[in-house]
Amino acid sequence: MRTVWAWLISGVAAATLVVAPTAVFSAKDSTASDNEELYKELDLFEHALSIVRSDYVEEPKAQQLIYGALKGMLATLDPYSQFLDPDSYNELKIDTEGEFGGLGIEITIKDDLLTIISPIDDTPAALAGLRSGDRIVKIDGQLTRGITIVEAVRKLRGKPNTKIALTLLREGESELKEVSLERAIIKVKSVKDAQMLDEQIGYIRLSDFGEHTVADLESAINSLKARHMDSLIFDLRNNPGGLLDVAVSVAELFLNRHQLIVSTKGRLRNQNQEMRSRMDGPISALPLVVLINEGSASASEIVAGAIQDHHRGVVLGTKSHGKASVQTIFPLKDGSALRLTTSKYFTPKGRSIHGQGIPPDVEVPIQLAKDPASKQEQAKEIFDKIEQTAPEPPADKLRKDNQIARAMDLLKGIKVYQTNERLAATENRS
């Protein structure tokens, strides 16, 4: 056994590494035929390497060739498996304590293009109008085709107050969009909004899953309960995720003791794990609607999937992103490392989240203007109304978000049904 680092991949946001024991895969786990096939392919590699070293126009450096081969090998697996040279590996290990100079976007590779999963609230990316699904075609004039996530992170991050130019391709638009942004220290506030709507319906918007999320969320829930909240809209839209243990702790608030929240499955025995609720959640019986969209990823999908599979609440909106796999870091002896996908996350009913996403129980696309030029402004206006700091914004302003309006109608219907059930039970006893 040896110690490696593993975490729930979360794009551009500073990754928090969790110590986890992982077994080394040995030749004993392979069949004789597998080994024979591998040796044949290694002979091919050695032959090609010898030709390059002897016949290339200039004498190549051995490390450059090996690093290039390792990079190509990992890139053939999936967008998140990568070879990290010593500099990249050292950057990954830096403890940023929740702050970093950047733009505030979560990214992935989709159809070989660098793609935004979600902009983080109140960051340069969000303020500039970047949206989930935007393809980053160029960074400072350089094409991004073939770029890895690690390479993209290095280009996007930088010293605060420095400029960066992005060229974007937006879905449904044919012309490229040029955007200039200024990097900033990214400070993420998990509980973005918590307030009471009409008829004792509470509303909480969560923007990420970080170190302080659970404490902040519990505080928000207690505050709303003190104001007689009897149902809740839990907004995970454009929440790109974060820490696995935080996702489990958040799900616990809504579930009963010992209920399965999420499981991991990989090729090795110790990669197969189940995470269950350790307590009865403080609001495990409260009528609940969870909002998701294509910007909801990783930890958001774990929570939404657990609530959906246990029929704990109604998941409403559009299908989530589908990004829930575990990457493990294997340090190499020269200071470089392999970042390898070792397992994937599954909902309590065994549904794979990665590449599939969480489909809503009630599909409600957000209503934006038909004119593409005005969509961005209208979307920004909708979320600005949700995020304003006034303690009691009028319900009619929130109803301009059709997904929240539909969630409110659902909760009102659920409460009417529950009231009628209680009355019927009382009459039957009498």
Which pLDDT tens digit goes with each residue over 164-179? 999 999 988 989 999 9
pLDDT tens-digit series, residues 296-322: 999 999 999 999 999 999 999 999 999
CATH architecture of 101-185: Roll (2.30)
Following DSSP, what letter does each residue of 266-282 receive, concatenated? Answer: ESSGGG-EEEE--S--T
User: Which single residue is written with the structure tokens 């704990």?
Assistant: 312
pLDDT tens track for 269-302:
888 999 999 999 999 999 999 999 999 999 999 9
Strands 163-169 and 135-139: antiparallel
> What's the pLDDT score for residue 373?
44
Q: Is there a contact between 268 and 22 (Cβ–Cβ < 8 Å)?
A: yes
DSSP characters for 169-227? E-TT--S-EEEEEE-EE----SEEEEEE-GGGEEEEEE--B-TTHHHHHHHHHHHHHHT
Residue 2 confidence (pLDDT) above 60: no
pLDDT in tens, 27-49: 345 566 778 888 888 999 999 99
Q: Is 134 a catalytic residue?
A: no
Is residue 13 predicted with pLDDT exceeding 80? no
Q: Which of 298, 300, 320, 325 is an active site residue?
A: 298
Q: What is the pLDDT of residue 92?
A: 73
3-state secondary structure of 378: helix
> Residue 362 pLDDT more than 90?
yes
Q: Which entry of 193, 216, 309, 401 is annotated as an active-site residue?
A: 309
Closest CA to 301 of 250, 258, 255: 250
Point out the least confidently predicted range of 52-56, 90-94, 181-185, 199-203: 90-94
User: Is it true that 101-185 and 191-326+343-421 share their CATH fold?
Assistant: no
Q: Looking at the predicted structure, is the pLDDT value of residue 151 above 70?
A: yes
Catalytic residue among 320, 323, 344, 401: 323
Q: Does 393 score more than 80 pLDDT? A: no
Higher pLDDT, 256 or 383: 256
User: What is the β-pairing status of strands 105-110 and 18-22?
Assistant: unpaired
Tell the CATH superfamily of the 191-326+343-421 domain: 2-enoyl-CoA Hydratase; Chain A, domain 1 (3.90.226.10)
Q: Domain residue spans in the chain? A: 2-93, 101-185, 191-326+343-421
Please state, in angstroms and rounded to a whole number, the distance separating the CA atoms of residues 51 and 46: 9
Output the pTM of the full model.
0.77
Q: Are strands 82-84 and 231-235 parallel, antiparallel or unpaired?
A: unpaired
Averaged confidence pLDDT in the chain: 85
Judged against a pLDDT cut of 70, whether residue 419 lies above it is answered with yes
Burial of 371 (0-12, 13-18, 19+ CB in 10 A): exposed
pLDDT, residue 39, reads: 83
- pLDDT for 96: 37
* pLDDT reading at 143 higher than 80: yes
Q: What pLDDT sits at residue 288?
A: 98
Q: Is 298 an active-site residue? A: yes
Cβ-proximal residues to 74 (8 Å cutoff; 6+ apart), any chain: 81, 82, 83, 338, 339, 340
pLDDT tens for each residue of 226-244: 999 999 999 999 999 988 9
Confidence of residue 378 (pLDDT cuts 50, 70, 90): low
> 298: buried, middle or exposed (CB in 10 Å: 19+, 13-18, 0-12)?
buried
Query: pLDDT (tens digit, 9 = 90+) per residue, 85-129?
Result: 998 888 777 543 445 689 999 899 988 899 999 898 889 999 999
How much of the chain exceeds pLDDT 70, in percent? 83
Note if 309 is an active site residue: yes
* Lowest mean pLDDT segment, chosen from 46-60, 225-239, 368-382, 392-406: 368-382
Instruction: Please tell me the number of Cα atoms within 13 Å of 169 on its side-chain side.
Output: 11
For residue 5, the SS3 value is: strand
Whether the CA torsion 8, 14, 16, 21 is positive or negative: it is: positive
